[in-house]
Structures are given as structure tokens and as C-alpha cells.
Structure 1
Amino acid sequence: MSSSVGGVTVSNSTVNTLIGNVNAENLNIYNAREVDGAANLAERHERLARLKRESRARLVERWMAVGLGESMANELADDQTVGTPQRIEAEFPHAGMVALVGEFGSGKSVTAERLHLASIEQAATDPEAPIPVFLEARFIEGKVDAEIRSIASGIGNPEEVGVYLILDGLDEPGSVRALDILGQSRRAILQWPNSHSIITVRPGLELGDTPRINYPEMNAQEVESLLGRVGASRDLQYSESASIGDAMRLPLFALIAAVLDTQDIRMPRSRGALLAAIASKALSKSGNVSDTQVQAGLRKLALLSISRNRRVPVGEVGSQRLIEAMCATHLAVRKGMTISYGLSIFEQYFAGQAILEDGLPEEMLDQSKLGAWQDALVLAVSMGSWRSTSALVEAIAGISPGIASAIVTKSVPPYDYDEDASLISYTECGKMLRHALAVWTSGIAPHGRQLGFTRSDGSVTSLAIGVQGSRLSWGIVSPSASMDLPDIVPAGPEVRDRCIRLGSGVVSSSYSAWPWEWALSQVAHALENALSSQDITIPDIEASQKELDWALAKAIVNQNPMNHRPIPVDIAVEATDRLLERLPNNVQAVSFGKRIYDVELVHNFGDRLCRGQLLISQGCLVRPYPMPDLREQGGSWIWSGYAEEDLRVLVEDVYGNALHIYEALVRANFPKLLSALGIGGALPLRLEGTLVIGRGSEDYAPPNLWSKPVLLNSDAISIARITVQNRLPARDWD
């Protein structure tokens, strides 16, 4: 009997028998037949054996990099249950691509190696099996097609038997290069028969319509088993730090913590400190070369490697003696005349250290290249002092406040509080908070005053601050009430009435970037409220103008918002004239329920109504979307008044217009944030959705929309495409 793992048909005696136990001596040589023309069986045999050795070596290097001894690293490499694909409760496809999505250190790369080893075994016993190919995205220098053909040489012809491609760490070269590699890989898979690919990637990269499988974190039992396996305390996972407690569910960080525990090293409170501790331990292995020299070499290697997305010639890093010392730490690995990091997370760590000490490299001043450095920046901001962190965040915010905000959010874990820590004086805290608030509000200028953060002269309003141990009390003083106050005042009842926002709580003071995170949360909260209440001006584009005209027309004639009947033009004109006649001359706005409209807007509406410039059909103002066609809606659900096709068109039109309005709003008001926003960074796009509808006995059940974005060329226009189904789509959607 047999089963399939990742599209590779294997013996049903489990995948374990297949992977890790293959060597050059026991590879089965099938009956002699022609293999890719000139490629002979002996060469194929040796090349497959080499792929197996390289895969096993990567596993060993990975575990030695986190501080495990060579014996334990080899033991884990030979234990097929470590990283077994069976951990994933999902079926891998037998064709096309699938992305294995998991956090840094989740173990997805180890599972990918196990799948690669299984595909090597399959190719060793079946000349018609796809050619096994393993590529690390950060080291792809040229075209993916050329890289695949180079590895396949001597094994077989991709055009005849196809390939089984493992593409590891797609996100690591940065989003621009990653999407290029993804597109090239997809074309390669599609052009060859019997081909498929497993991609490992962290959350956040927009993958379009590529199917995804979420890689699971370890449960408590798995963490306990792994810790016991390497001789650490099984209770290590129950850390006082929330950040470390969460990290322990990821094998990489669990192993690092285990190594520190076995060395009786006190457990750090953050992931960055965890990496710093293991890096310090690794530097002690560098022999006769000083730690300072080795650390400088590792920093230089990290900067060169990230900037080039490839292995670095040893001659560019340092002397032969320095290279040997760097490799002795097991953090760096030499391959021929090049050197690289065995684990990219240490590459990012040492790059972050270099940035903290020397500032941003020149190439990072280009916003399009910031993505490749984001992990290094997160680690730097999470570990630096207030001064170095502030210089760094401020510099990034000047390039892209959106990317800067993402970095700060990742750098300060939520709810990771040290109750025993004490904040500095209220005045110093206030200065830090006010400085951070000034930088964030400059990124959303000119809305700082509208959101209640800046005075009429552009300066940040006063802050009322109180400090007690690790607890912060704060108030943001109304700009109009702060003109006679110092910039920082003590929190108390005498200023409470002047504040537009108040709060208190324990802050994550273990992280020097906590004031940046606090200020960012205030701006985000104010923005959310302003957008929800539609206080931010929407640009005058067709989609938004038609919606505004219809809403205003119904408000003027006092028609229920849920009533979409056409409004006769003469009734709308009469009601508009009557409204404007009774408004005093000094009134600037008029309210209809919760909605407030500028009087100037009402005048403009009336003028265009009289000139016939609104959406009019058969003498009536009409809704810019399909009308309910089943029955009067009254107080029923919106969807219940539509037949399936009209509901589909309604959803498609509404979402299509929403994309246009969203893009116009962000470009007009927050252009510096566009590239860092989830949808904004992916525009233009096609939103593909499936509307799942139940009728008859299920009429009470609301429809569900399952959708996913598909990237379009930069010169395209965003659209929505919706289909209807009466059951849930048989695939994963967002």
C-alpha cells in the first residue's frame, strides 16, 4: 500500500522510512533506461545522493546555529518525526503551488526539507517522478527557470518529467523581489508537466490566488517533548514574559531557550534578547580572534547579504582567519568561496545591530527596498536604547510612516509587562511621548489638528502625565485648551476637564520603543474614529459622488435610509429649495440624524439637480446600485429583498466602488501610508469573491462572502468579481 505526502507517492510504512535514511549506497537503481538523453544512471544516482546530503547538512547547520551540539543536531536530523509533514492537518496538492505560511522559527522550513527528502527518494526509485529541487529565495541570483535547470542537470529533463520545487523563505528577499520570484516560479511550474511546488513564507506577503496552508504552532505537549529531548526543563515554556511564552510555541525559540537553560543562563524577556544571548554564547566559540572582530565580521556579512540577496564572497568579508572564526560560531556557513548565514534570523539580528550602531544604510533610504530590512529593523527597535531607537524610527518615518508604524507594532509585544519595572519621571516620560506623537502626526499631516493632536501653530498639544511604578496615567489636552499650559503637566483633577482623551495602565517599559507604540495607538484610535464618522474628506470621484448624492437626496426628502424607491426630481427640487430657504445665512452645516452636511454641499447638490447632472432615470433620482426586487424591505435584512443575481451585482458593485473610494481617500489624505496598508499596498487588485446564499428553509441565514485579492498590473484598475454558490467553496479563502 502507499500514500501521498506533498504529491510524492511513498510507501505506506510512513514517510519516516523514506526520508533521512537515503544514502549513496542504498539508492535503488531502476532498470537501465535512457534518462534525459546523455544523463547516465550513475550520474543521476550521484546527483540525487548529493541533494540528499545537502538537505541533511542544512538541517544540521540550522540546529547548530541555535547552539545545539553536533551530536544532538545530527540526532534531530536523522529523526524523521522532527518536522514531519503529518503535523499539518491539510492535504498538499498534487499539482500547482501551495504556500506553507508560518511565523519565523515555526518549523516550516524543516518540514519543507522533509518533503524535499521524500521527493528525492521518489525520484531515486522512479525515473518518471518529478525532479526534486530546493531553492532558498534569498540566494536566487538570476532567473528561477535557470536555477531549476541547473539543479536538474544530470537528473532529468523538467520538460519531460516536471519538477517538485521547494521554495524556502519567499518573503526574505523583500516583497518586491519575492513577488518577482513567485511569478517566475509559477510560470515554471505551469510550463512543465507533472510539476508542483511548496513555498514557505511568513504571514504578510500578498500571495494573490496561491492556495495557503497555515503552519501550526506547537501545542504545550509538543513544546514539553522538544524541551525534554534536548535536556532542558520541561517547565521552561511557562515564562514570566508573555513574549517569551508565545515564542516557546515556535521550535526555533524553544530550542534557543533550551540551550540557555542547559547553560544556566537567565531567561531573557524578549525575542531580541533571546537572540542576543545565544549570539553572545556563539561568539565565545570563535577561538583566537576577538569577539569584537568576529562580531564586526558578522555584521558586515549581514549587511552585504541582505543588500545583495545572495551569498557573499569570503574576500569581501575579511581574512581567512576571520572567516574561520565566524564559521566556528556556527552562525555563518562557508560554501566554496562564499559565506552566508545558516539561519536568516541571525542575519537579520546582526544587521539590526549594525544599523543601531551606524544608522540606516544608504540603500534603505529607498522606500521600495525597506521591505528586505524590516526584520532587522524590528529587532533593532526592540533592543535599542531610547536614543538609538528614536533616531531609527524617526528616520524610517521620514521615508515611510506606514512601514515605521509596522516596525514599532512588531517591536513592542502587546501585554508584555514587567510589573517590577519603574518608569522614569513624569516629565521625561511626557517628553518622549510628545516627541513620538509629533513624528506620527507629521506622517498624517495636515490631519493632526483635526484629530485633536496639534495646536493652530502646528505644535503638539500639551500632555498630562502621571507615573507610579510601571503604571502610566495620561491625558491628551484639547489643543484649544492648551495654549496657556506647559507642554508637559502633571496628571490631576485640575487638568482632567481640559483633556479630550484619558487613560492609564501598565506599559511595556522593558522595551525602549514603548512611547512610540503608545503614541501610535493614540493616532490609530483617533483615525479610526474619524474614518468611522466620515470626518475625513472623501475625494470627488464618481463612485463616492453618486453614493453621496443618493444619501443626501433621501435625507432632504426625509426618505427612510432603508427605502430605495426612486425620488421624483420635482419633489427633490422642492424639498431642497425649502430647506435652503429656511436656513439662516450664518449656518455652515445642516444635520440629518447622525449625518452632518456642509451647507455649501447642499447648495451644490441643488444646482446640479436643477441642471440634470445627477443620476436620473424616467424623471426620478435613482439609487446607484440595484434596487431590491423581491419585496419591500421595511425593517428586514438588506439581502432579503434581492434575488440571487441582483444580490450578486449589488455586492460586486459595492465592493468595486469601495476599492476605488478607498484608494482615492488614502492617496488624497494619507499618501505616505498607502504602501504599508494591507489593501493599499496591493493595489490595483481584483477582488474575487464567492457569495454563499441559502434560500428556502435557510432563508433566515445571511449570505456569506468569501473573498481573496488577486494582484493586477500597475496600470490596471481595481475591480470586484463575485460569483454565487449555494454551499461553501471547497478551498481556503480570506
Structure 2
Amino acid sequence: MSEEDNRGFDNLIPLCERHAYEIDATPQHYPADLLRSWKRMQIEAHARAVGLALNDAEVAELSEASFNTDDLIERLTAVMPFSARSRSRAEALALAARSSRARSVVRLRSTPADRVEAALAWNTQQADPVVEVPTGALRVLVAPMGAGKSEEAERWWNEGLTQAWTDPQVAIPVWLEARDVVTTLAGAVQDALGGDPEKACRIVVDNLDGVSPREADRLLDDARRLVATWPLASILATTRPGAGRVDTKERLDVAVWPAQRGMALLETVLGDDHIPRLDSHETRQLLTTPLQVHALASHLRAGGHARVSTRELLSGLARDILELERPDASREVWASLPRLATRVLSQQGPVRATDFARTHVIWELEETGLVVHDDGQLRFALPLFEQHFAAQALQDEEALIETAAGSELFPRWRYAIAFAVASVAQEQAEGFLLRLARTNPAAASWVLEETARRDGDSGAAQRPLSDEPATRAAERPESAPEHALAVGGRLREATRCWLEGVGELGALLAPHHDGALAPWAVLVGKDDEWMILAEARERVLDAELVVRPDLIPWGSVPRGDFHSIHGFPVPRGDLARWVWARNRLREQLIAPMHNRTLPVDPASPLAAERVWFLARHIMGNGQNSRNPRQIALADLRSEVNERMAHIATTRRSQWTRGRHTIESSDIRWLHDQLQHVPGGLLTDPRPPADIAPGGARYTWQMYSPELTLSIAQDVLRDALIGYRDLVQRNFPRFGAALGLYSTFPLRAEGFVIMPDPDDTAADCATIAYALLPDAHSRTQDEPVVDLRLARSPDDLSTLWDRREGDNTPAFQRQVGHYGRLPTGRDRRATNLAYRWLAEDLKAVGWLEHAPVYTD
């Protein structure tokens, strides 16, 4: 530029000395385009001022007019440009209060109109400490979408407004949206105040993430200069992670809400409406941010309160929040979101940004607000979004459902799988279930519980043929054979998929011939409402599925040709055949679970307890025996061999002693197990009492506290090993879908509580313990069990505090346990292991009811 041009009018802008110096000192913050825009505004303002000049006639008219001071002020105000100084302080304070309320109401836009006032009152009553921002300093609230950073800033701002009402030396606080600051921050503050921030003044710059990262950096630099220039000012900015470079000393992270606070707000917003139980890890997470709590309240009020499933709840909230936020993004970014969700769920944590996408894609992902880019890592702003976009990945086959439902990954993927199954066409949903049942029956069953529960009793239990409804079905004419084969074929396919998934256990759940599912004879009523299914014995049918008209009337069929004959309603509804087949198989799981007879390896501690239990009852060596501690193996084997000879001549045999029944299968198992028992004596696996009976009324009184503690540790350790043995032998593909197994490797910590010696009503000791992950062990290691005798109630408080502090999102896992410890019983470890297993199987739909285990 020539010297003449440099000094010409086009390159001239009038400025005060302070601002001229600031621009010359930091030219990088004042580009030429910005300065030219200021000059245009100066020229426009001058033109308006010239236009206000009076001609001679107007001057004469004005001189003749009669008006007082108020009239003059009113007329001048009407023609002069508006300024904040045009208002009185009282007017400005009242306007500031109304503006704060308006902002709060807008944030509650998803809250039902009739509950807004209650929500505002609840927020006002919160006693949390307000954010602290030192005078003359900048602080930045950083949190993901919906975490409540604007609400926190509003509380800090309102604290300043309260001070301004009572102290005229405090300026009315200023609230600025980052996107509305068009020139400098100092200029925007001056416009809002009508002058410089000379007094104590609180300034909020909200939503820095609403502008570009470059603009956010500029505003933060403006804020730093402003507080350095005006030391009585303090500035609080808000942003999502990754928007603007924030120094460590300036950053204030917004704490996650405790679930109790979220529930209190939810109850306030819902009023007298039904409050659902939110007891899973995922649903409790919905209570940790105000955005999710308000969206949850709207979702529950809009439809099916108690009837809504967790899957519907989570998927509905994801849609609601996405609709509310309406992120604007390119097709490439939308395509990246399912890929990112797949990576996050598969590796259980944030994804390194440089490994995921190019820089411009990362920037766009941040701008959606759905993704947080912090410290070089990518994660979703809300866990809801992980599941929402992972479901898209499954539907588009960008992620394989077999991988997602694997024994290790399923707990993290489960809601994504449920979303995917529930939101596709019926044919694709059937395909998903077929693959799920073969891969992980626990995963498939859990998904059914989440997706099929609204279809009514689509998986109605089978009814024996002698039941009245089945008898009525048998009186109806049958449908065409082709239709019966089609219906039976679909049910058989579902059954075989479940059996393939459960593996060796399938032989206990359905009759098999030479390793294959036994053939079926079927008949469907002409009205297509009821059908009859008979499981054939060997060499009765010449095909795996046959239509047998002679199944009606039912008395005409040779009952000895079939293992069972059942009549039941034809399963109807989405995925109904999968519910029916699962329910049919789980009925056969009840007996081995109730009798505690699932297979385990001979070395398992549960095998040792079962051997001793059976031996004592076979030999009549019960509770009242004079020498219950040892049994001669020769005598036991002789007795077992006699019973084996009897079994060989019968289809089924039973022996009952007291409350216990021993089956043919027990004798066969014991016969095989005794081959692995060395020596000549079988000994009780637990130590004897160490206190003379004397006048003891209960067994626990014959065991010292020290021995009780030792037995409790052994029982708990054996139960954990036994539970692990049961899962690995019988449910290997269920894996981490079983809550306790998902915690392995684990350790046990807790206390044994002895009854007060003077308590005549106490019949046993009790045990309180927590099962916690053990990062220093492997799954097959012997679990560490650390129990102590409780000396005071404070001991238990410490244990429960440890339990509450464990937030591991393991699937359906109960951390804390409390129960009776009957000292002298035979199957203490077995009962505990089966109780844990039954609770886990019930949680995934493989048991309808968990049995109660006692001896």
C-alpha cells in the first residue's frame, strides 16, 4: 500500500486513544474486515445524526411550544438512539429479573406447561453451593449436552442480581449469548450496561459451543482482557468440552447429578402421576442430568407410564432429545455416528480421535453436540446416543449382531440390540432372533423380554392334553396338513435355535435321539387357534415333523409312543414363536434348578457337597445320627450298587426320607462320582462344632465365633467357585449376560454377625458381604474372600458405603448381599451358588421364578 493510500480516507477510522493503542498492539485480533464494519457503522450513525438537524421553521415551532422537563425528556427519548442508561436502575433490575425467569422457562420447553412453575420452584429451593468465580477472574463451566451448565450459570448470575438489588455499588449482572456478541465482548458489555464495568459486575457468556472454535477462542481472549482491564468484573462462560481453549485453572467441571436429585426433580415434574421404578444402571443414568430428567418426564406423561419398557424408554428419549436439539450435520458426519458408537461400545470407552476420522470430520462431530472431543478422545455426550446409533449400525450390518451379543460384549450392547430388533420389519426382526438364539440364548431371551412384552400372552405356557381347553381343541376338526406342517416347522426351528445356543444343556431341556431333537407329531385345529404337539420316542415316526390326525380324540393315540403330548394356543404376535419355544424349554430347567442337580465337574466343591448329602440320606446317617461325620465307602458303594440294580428294572425310581426325595438320576450320578473318591471313608467337608452342646438350643450356639467365621469364608469361597463351575459347564454362551458372572474375577468383602448370646429367638448367625471386581485376579483364580466378625453397627455402614461407591455398570448385578448363615447344614455353598444362578437366569427370562433354597 502506498503512503498516499495509507493516509487516505478509505484507510481511516476515528478511535479513542485506548482502543487505537489496543488495535496496534494486537492486530491479530482485529482483522481489516472487522475494522471496516466498524467504520461503516460510524458513517451510518453520523448520517442519522445529521438527519436530526432542525430547519428554521422547526426551530420557530419549537420556541413557541410550551413543555416541562418531563415532556422534554420524553420527546428527546423518542428521537435519540436507545441506550441502557435510558432506564432507571429500578426498571433495569426488574427487567433483569424477568429476563432470568424467561431464560429458565425456555430451558423447560420440554416440561409440561402445568408443571413449569413447580419445576422453577424446585430449582430455587436447591441448596447446592453456587459456582465461585473470583473477582477479576474468568471461569468456564465445561460439561456435555444437558448437564446443567446454563442452570449453574443462572444461579451464579441470580446471586449477583440479588446483591445488585441491595447494594447500589454492585452493577446489574450481564447475560450474553456467545452467538450474539458480534464485535468485541467489551463492546457488548458496555452496550448492556450503558457504560464501562467500573463497579463489581458479574458477566455470563453462555454457550460458547454455539460459535465456531475460532470464535470461541477469540471471546475467551476478550474475556481475559476485560477482567484484566476492569478488575471488579468477573466472567463465567459455559461450553461443551472441546469448544475453545480453556486453561486448567479456568475450568470448572459440572458435577454429575446424584440419582436421588434427579428422582426428586422427576417427582416434581410428574406431580401426582405414576413414578416408575428406575432400578437398572441405564435407567438410573437418566437421572444424572437435567435434560434427561425433563425429557424422561415428558416421555412418561405422554404415554404408557408403568407399561413402558426400559428399551422403549431409552429409545424414545434418544429420539426426543435428537428432535429437540436437531443437530445440523453433513451426510459424512451422520454416517460416522454409527461407526463411532460401534467403536465406543466394543472397546468400552472413548475412542482416540486421530484413529477414527480426519480432522474436519472430528470438528463437525463436535459441532453436532452429540459427540464430546476432550483430551484427544471421542465419546458421546449422552450414553443414550451410543445405543441409538449402535442400533443403526446393527440394522445396516455395519456391526454384526453375533459380535454384539457375544458373551463379553452383550451387557454393553444390549439396548442397541433391543432398539434394532424393535424398530425393523418383522422379517428382519425374526432374522435377528434366529442369530441371537444361536449365539447367546441369554441375550436373545433378554431382548424378547424388552421387545415382546406388549404382545400379550404370545408365549402362553403349554397345557397338558388332559386340560379342558386342550380337550376342546381336540374336538375340533383339524386344519390342512400343509398348514400344520408350516406352523410346526416354525416352532421347531425356534426350538432348535435355542437348543443350539444352550449346547450340552439342551439334552436336559428336550428329548433327543442320537444327539438330535426328537421328532414331533403335530395337529392344528381348523380355527387355527389351538394345536397339539407330541414328542415321539425312538423309531415311532419316520420324519422329524409329521401331522398325526389320530392325536384327536386324544385317547386314541398310543401314549407310550410319546414322551409328552401337549395342547396349547397357536403362538401369535411379533416374535411369539421365540417366546413360546423359550418358555417350553425353561419349564424343563425348573427341576434341575430346584433339585440342584445341574452337571458340574467332579472336582467342583458343589460335587463334594452333593456326594455327602446323598450319602448321608442313603445310609440313614441323618441329623440325629450319633456319628454323622464319616461314612464307610465300602458300605456306601454296596448300597448304591443295590439301588442301581433296582433302577435297571424300572423306568423311574424314587426313595424318600423325611423332606428329601432321591431320584434314579441321583443314584446314577453318585455311582459315577464315587469312582473319583479315594480312601475308605467319606468325611463331612465342613469341620465339626467346637463347643459342647450343653444346654444349646440352636446349632449356632455350638460353634465359636472364630469357627463360624472360618466356615463362612470357606462356604462363600466354595459358593463362588461352584457358581462359576455351573455357568461354565451349563451356560457357557450366556457369559456376562449373567449378572454375577459378569463381575468375575471378583473378591468378597464383608462381616459375620453373631447373635447376641442372650437372644433366645436367634436361630443362626448372619452374613453381610459385597461382591466386587478384582482387577488383580483372573477368572479361574480362587476368589479372595475377606470376612471379619462384626464388632459394631459401624462395621456394616462401612461395607454399605463401599457398595454404594461401586458404580460398575455390570449387567443386572447386585453388589451387596445380606442373609442367614445356618452353620450345621449340608449344602450351604450349593444353596448360595444356586440362589445366585437362579436370580441371574430370572433376570434374563430363563426362569420365571427363582426357587428358595433351604435344606
TM-score (norm 1): 0.57
Amino acid at match of 2:134: N
Alignment of 1:563-574 (within 5 A): 563=625, 565-566=627-628, 573-574=634-635
Root-mean-square deviation (Å): 5.9
Contact residue 365 and residue 399 of structure 1 kept, 8 A? yes
Contact residue 689 and residue 721 of structure 1 kept, 8 A? yes
- Given the alignment, which residue of 364, 384, 388 partners 1:345? 384
The reply to whether residue 357 of structure 1 matches residue 396 of structure 2 is yes
Relative distance call for 1:403 and 1:286 in structure 2 (3 A) is closer
Contact residue 256 and residue 278 of structure 1 kept, 8 A? no
What do residues 584-642 of structure 1 show as CA deviations (whole Å, max 9, x unaligned)?
48738975421236666666788888xx615x4xxxx5311122445669997654543
Q: How many angstroms does 1:349 deviate by?
A: 0.9
Contact residue 563 and residue 634 of structure 1 kept, 8 A? no
Relative distance call for 1:225 and 1:394 in structure 2 (3 A) is same
The reply to whether residue 595 of structure 1 matches residue 662 of structure 2 is yes
Matching residue of 2:494? 436
* Secondary structure in structure 1 of the residue aligned to 2:616: helix
What do residues 286-321 of structure 1 show as CA deviations (whole Å, max 9, x unaligned)?
69989x887545434534554564368599779979
* Secondary structure in structure 1 of the residue aligned to 2:749: strand
The reply to whether residue 533 of structure 1 matches residue 599 of structure 2 is no
CA distance in 2, matches of 1:719, 1:249: 34
Relative distance call for 1:267 and 1:465 in structure 2 (3 A) is farther
Relative distance call for 1:367 and 1:398 in structure 2 (3 A) is same
Matching residue of 1:690? 751
Amino acid at match of 1:299: P
* Secondary structure in structure 1 of the residue aligned to 2:396: helix
Relative distance call for 1:684 and 1:606 in structure 2 (3 A) is closer
Greater C-alpha radius of gyration: 2
Relative distance call for 1:18 and 1:504 in structure 2 (3 A) is same
The reply to whether residue 376 of structure 1 matches residue 416 of structure 2 is yes
Matching residue of 2:66? none
* Secondary structure in structure 2 of the residue aligned to 1:705: strand
Relative distance call for 1:725 and 1:666 in structure 2 (3 A) is same
* Secondary structure in structure 2 of the residue aligned to 1:672: coil
Q: How many angstroms does 1:352 deviate by?
A: 0.2
Relative distance call for 1:399 and 1:360 in structure 2 (3 A) is farther
Matching residue of 2:143? 55
CA distance in 2, matches of 1:541, 1:306: 37
Structure 1 residue runs without a partner (length 5+):
1-12, 30-41, 62-73, 81-133, 141-149, 157-163, 169-197, 201-213, 229-233
CA distance in 2, matches of 1:711, 1:403: 22
Matching residue of 1:716? 781
Contact residue 454 and residue 479 of structure 1 kept, 8 A? no
Contact residue 351 and residue 376 of structure 1 kept, 8 A? yes
What do residues 328-355 of structure 1 show as CA deviations (whole Å, max 9, x unaligned)?
6x65578899976432202311220231
Q: How many angstroms does 1:692 deviate by?
A: 1.9
Contact residue 349 and residue 379 of structure 1 kept, 8 A? yes
Matching residue of 1:613? 679
Q: How many angstroms does 1:529 deviate by?
A: 2.4
Amino acid at match of 2:706: E
CA distance in 2, matches of 1:582, 1:566: 22
Relative distance call for 1:441 and 1:398 in structure 2 (3 A) is closer
CA distance in 1, matches of 2:321, 2:604: 62
Alignment of 1:311-710 (within 5 A): 331=370, 341-358=380-397, 360-361=399-400, 364=404, 368-413=408-453, 416-417=454-455, 432-452=490-510, 454=512, 456=514, 458-459=516-517, 462=520, 477-480=534-537, 483=541, 486=545, 494=554, 500=564, 509=573, 512-541=574-603, 543-561=605-623, 563=625, 565-566=627-628, 573-574=634-635, 576-577=637-638, 580=641, 584=645, 587=648, 591-593=654-656, 594-596=661-663, 613-614=679-680, 616=681, 621-630=682-691, 639=700, 641-701=702-762, 702-710=764-772
What do residues 21-74 of structure 1 show as CA deviations (whole Å, max 9, x unaligned)?
53xxx7236xxxxxxxxxxxx8xx54xx12x2x13865259xxxxxxxxxxxx5
- Given the alignment, which residue of 21, 27, 31 partners 2:133? 27
Q: How many angstroms does 1:166 deviate by?
A: 8.5
What do residues 681-729 of structure 1 show as CA deviations (whole Å, max 9, x unaligned)?
3334333332222133423224322121233311631254433336652
CA distance in 2, matches of 1:421, 1:476: 15
CA distance in 2, matches of 1:682, 1:420: 34
Which sits farther off after the overlay, 432-441 or 365-374? 365-374
Aligned length: 544
Structure number with the higher helix fraction is: 2
CA distance in 1, matches of 2:699, 2:523: 47
Q: How many angstroms does 1:438 deviate by?
A: 1.9
* Secondary structure in structure 2 of the residue aligned to 1:450: helix
CA distance in 2, matches of 1:708, 1:504: 44
CA distance in 1, matches of 2:407, 2:687: 42
Amino acid at match of 2:384: I
CA distance in 1, matches of 2:515, 2:440: 24
Contact residue 630 and residue 643 of structure 1 kept, 8 A? yes
Contact residue 443 and residue 672 of structure 1 kept, 8 A? yes
* Secondary structure in structure 1 of the residue aligned to 2:788: strand
Q: How many angstroms does 1:279 deviate by?
A: 3.1
Contact residue 341 and residue 347 of structure 1 kept, 8 A? yes
